[in-house]
Amino acid sequence: MKEKDRYLEQLKKVIEDGEVDFRIIDTLNILNSKKDYYTTSSCAGRIILIELEEIGGKKESNIIFKSHEKVDYLDIWKTINNYSGSKMIFLIVNSPIIHVVCRDLKSAKELINLSKEVGFKYTSIVSFSEKIIVEVRSTERMDVPIIKDGVIYPSEDYVKLMVDIANQMIERVKKKIEKLNQNLREIE
């Protein structure tokens, strides 16, 4: 837990710079106030349009639209129609993800159990190396191809439907984060 102060200073700076999803700040503050935990990275969940050179080619990807809140399908539709490239474009919903350093296995297990209890079903230990790191992650995810070789494949109605589903996922995520915060407050 010797690096906790450094991470808290970094977090303070990125919050001041507006680089942290405001919806996850309360969760980070709760976790970081506990003696057995500190956070290293996070995302509150998001809706993105991502440009890919090839499937799985994350290094060559470019996010062309991003929101951590619900979106108007017209913003997505406009972005799609204004795209002039030739790469693939996917509409993606990412679930929340929080990386938490835990003092020991006991505290890691407690965090995993509390998280899974409110629906963060993919929560698990992702590192045992120098630190025990738990990844708190939920199940909400959607990856929908929209453009390939410069051709828009879905209709406007289909994009409207996909954005509606994406917005429902973001709303569901908000509720899960609120429940997670309630559980985290109970940790000593």
Identify the bridge partners of residue 127 per DSSP, sorted by sequence position.
133
Tokens 């929209």 -> residue? 146
Q: Which CATH number fits domain 4-185: 2.60.40.10, 3.30.1960.10, 2.60.120.10, 3.40.50.450?
A: 3.30.1960.10
Cβ 187 vs Cβ 127: under 8 Å: no
Q: Return the domain boundaries, the chain.
A: 4-185
Q: What pLDDT shows up at residue 47? A: 96
- The answer to pTM > 0.85 is yes
Tokens 């350093």 -> residue? 101
In order along its 188 residues, the chain shows pLDDT tens digits of 678 888 888 888 888 887 888 889 999 999 999 999 999 989 999 999 999 877 766 667 899 999 999 999 999 999 999 999 888 999 999 999 999 999 999 999 999 999 999 999 999 999 888 899 999 999 999 999 999 888 888 899 999 999 999 999 999 999 999 999 999 998 87
Sign, Cα dihedral of 152, 154, 158, 163: negative
Identify the bridge partners of residue 151 per DSSP, sorted by sequence position.
148
Q: Alpha-carbon distance 169 to 119, whole Å?
A: 13
Q: What is the rounded radius of gyration, in angstroms, for the C-alpha atoms of the chain? A: 18
